[in-house]
Amino acid sequence: MALLSFATYKFNYDSVILSQSKFTESIASKISYDLIITDMTMPEMTGDRLIQAIRKVDTKLPIIICTGFSDKLTPKRGVDIGANGLLLKPVVKSEMTKMVENLLNEKCD
C-alpha cells in the first residue's frame, strides 16, 4: 500500500485499493481502469486466476503482477498468464514507477 501511495502522490495518479480479489473480479467488467497491480497470493483467489478473469473482459488492460516467489512466477510465466509486467518483492519504488509509466505510455500510443 505504501508503494501505491508513493506513486499516487509523486505522479498524481488516482488509485483504488481493493483487498478482496473476488470483489476486484466482479467490478473489473463494470469500471474502467487504466492499469491494475495485483499480487500472486491473495486470500480468495490467486493473481493468475484474477488475470484470467480480467482477460475474458479486457484483453488490452495493462496488468502488473507482484510476487515474492520468483521460482514459481518467472517473467515468462507472467506473460503466459496474461500479465504485462512482473515485479518481485520486495518491490523497488523506482522499478514500479518505471513499469507503471511505461505501460501507461504504451496504452496511450
pLDDT tens track for 46-98: 889 889 988 888 899 999 999 987 777 888 888 999 999 999 999 888 898 89
Looking at residue 102, its pLDDT comes to 94
| pLDDT tens per residue, range 9-49 | 566 677 777 766 556 656 655 667 788 888 898 887 888 98
Would the pLDDT of 6 be above 60?
no
- Domains of the chain, residue spans: 2-12+33-108
Fold of domain 2-12+33-108: Rossmann fold (3.40.50)
pTM equals 0.82
CA atoms within 13 A on the CB side of 44: 10
- Which residue intervals of 1-109 are DSSP H helices? 2-11, 21-28, 47-57, 75-80, 93-108
